[in-house]
Amino acid sequence: MALTVVMAACDDFELPNPPGQTNPDPEAYFADTDFALAPVSETLMLTEATEANHFVTVANITTLQNFPADYTLEVDMEIGNNAQFAKTTTVATTIDGNALTIDPSILNGAIRDVVTKAPGTYGIDSRFVAYAAKGNTRVRLGGVNNYYLTEVLSVKTFEADKVIENVYYVVPCDAAGTPDWAGAKAMNNTSGANMVGYDYPEFALKVESPTPDGYYFKIGAKSVVEAKDASQLLGVNISDEQGMHGKLGASYEVGHVSITGDVLITINVELDSYDVSYAFEALYPFTSGNTSKPGDVMLLYTDNYISYSGVAMLNTVWYCAAQPDYKGAVVFKQDTELGFEDSEDGLTRTGALTTSADGGRLEVPVRGKHLFYIDVNLVQLTYSLTCLQTLSVIGDGNGWDLATAAPLTPSADFKTWTAEGVVIGNEFKINANGAWAIGFSGTSVPDTTGKQVYEVHKQDGGDNLHATPGTYKVTVNFSAYPYTVTLE
């Protein structure tokens, strides 16, 4: 029809130029198409389907009307990590009659990518996108934001190639490899507490390597340690003279750390590897203005020798040192190959660290002298820092109104922040950047001077501080840890 209209226009020679050709709106072309899906009720058994060489049915087509015969229907399944589909992956389905089917191995891989690698039976959040395809044309039915049949699909995934537990232990041994079960210590998951081992397989623990014999050890899963089954303990196959790196395996000999002092033993049970490094009590974020005065540095603290965090004044360029000397033996730099990313508001930067000599300099997302909250993970060698451009007191005293929160004024070194004449109600907290994303809160501590004192730490949300209502001078002190807030 469009071609006929154009040809007719070309026959009218009185027009200076023929009108341009117009194509019908592709979405309008399918406006009358009626398409609907129905969920499947049974649990999808991926192992059984693979053994039977069958695809699994993930939904059924119940309605398909007014669909042009010269187009092909294609349907993709989107799998989310939760009901909000914060993280997703897309899998193409195969239409078999009225059934939408997927290769079980592809579906298993998609679940591993966005939900979990742990084997089990899960409710998988899914939704569908339908297309009409012809040649190089692919039109999404219902419009660009349309989905069909958002459902929770019950799926039993494949068994894992190897069993990974959620808790692992460092088991001290003698030189012959005989375990000291009583001395076994649980390792920390490097990504945080209560993480699933299949998804977060790195664990670490600080131990003391004594002189002169060093430290002998093996690694045991929780079930092995509870059963005291020495045959299932993992020994090491070292790859360096000091026993700092190597592989884990039940057939390997006892591990031996020959260096002395506090060390961090880190394992990856997915890769069957281990590494040993020194355990640092704190990290030193040096910057312009404090490199010659290490006592002025606001430290990053740790309770597990993996994650270090704290506030620090930074001035455009900074150095993350493992000792009170920014030119010392261990200085972390920007990993230029992996780089960094900044948040949309320009206040937060996340990136990768390296101790390599060819590492780049670390810079902040907001130039100039500011207070930053810094997180460093020494096992994953990553960092994150957020500029705290403002701090204020917010609470019942001002109706929790961000616009009227009492601003705190920093000292020259940014270690203390104060405000006079602040009206405090029953509850309050310290707010950063005039938003709800970051704040400082905690618990009150006894004080004999008549002041109200609180130990506080960074919170993304969290509890409020409880107070006796009144008008106060408020002081936030970041000079030592734990940080404090004082009402006077």
Domain boundary among 339, 358, 388: 388
Say yes or no: 298 and 272 in one domain.
Answer: no
Can you give the residue range of the structural domain that contains 302?
A: 282-388
Burial group, residue 100, by CB count within 10 angstroms (0-12, 13-18, 19+): buried
Q: What does the pLDDT look like over 270-294, one tens digit per residue?
A: 999 999 888 899 999 999 877 666 6
In a domain, residue 7? The reply is no
Whole-number pLDDT of residue 4: 44
In a domain, residue 8? The reply is no
In a domain, residue 457? The reply is yes
Whole-number pLDDT of residue 241: 61
Scan for tokens 């469009």, then name that residue. Answer: 2
Say yes or no: 230 and 182 in one domain.
Answer: yes
Whole-number pLDDT of residue 328: 83
In a domain, residue 440? The reply is yes
Q: What does the pLDDT look like over 203-233, one tens digit per residue?
A: 999 998 886 788 999 999 999 999 999 999 9
Domain boundary among 246, 263, 278: 278
In a domain, residue 4? The reply is no
The CATH code of the domain that includes 48 is 2.60.40.3640
The CATH code of the domain that includes 365 is 2.60.40
Say yes or no: 102 and 142 in one domain.
Answer: yes
Say yes or no: 147 and 249 in one domain.
Answer: no
User: Is the distance from CB of 139 to CB of 217 less than 8 angstroms?
Assistant: no
Say yes or no: 196 and 215 in one domain.
Answer: yes
Scan for tokens 């270690």, then name that residue. Answer: 415
| Type and span of the H or E element at 77 | strand 72-80
Residue 293 per-residue DSSP state: -
Domain boundary among 353, 372, 388: 388
What is the bridge-based pairing of β-strands 348-354 and 202-209?
Answer: unpaired
Taking the CA atoms of 361, 284, 385 and 307 in sequence, report the sign of the dihedral they define: positive
Say yes or no: 196 and 253 in one domain.
Answer: yes
| Type and span of the H or E element at 89 | strand 88-92
Provide the whole-model pTM: 0.66
In a domain, residue 231? The reply is yes
Say yes or no: 381 and 309 in one domain.
Answer: yes
In a domain, residue 416? The reply is yes
Neighbour tally for 191: CB within 10 Å: 17
b/e sequence 110-136, b meaning 16+ C-beta within 10 Å? bbbebbebebeebebbbbbbbbbeeee
CA-to-CA distance for 295 and 325, rounded, in angstroms? 10
Whole-number pLDDT of residue 137: 87
b/e sequence 286-309, b meaning 16+ C-beta within 10 Å? bbeebbeebeebbbbbbebbbbbb
CA-to-CA distance for 269 and 379, rounded, in angstroms? 14
List residues bridging with 60 in a β-sheet: 38, 99
pLDDT along the chain (488 residues), means of 10: 43 44 56 91 96 97 92 96 94 96 97 96 96 90 91 96 96 95 95 92 90 88 97 87 81 87 91 90 88 80 91 94 86 94 95 91 94 92 96 96 96 96 96 92 88 91 88 96 95
In a domain, residue 373? The reply is yes
How many domains does the chain fold into? 4
Say yes or no: 128 and 238 in one domain.
Answer: no
Neighbour tally for 37: CB within 10 Å: 21
Whole-number pLDDT of residue 447: 83
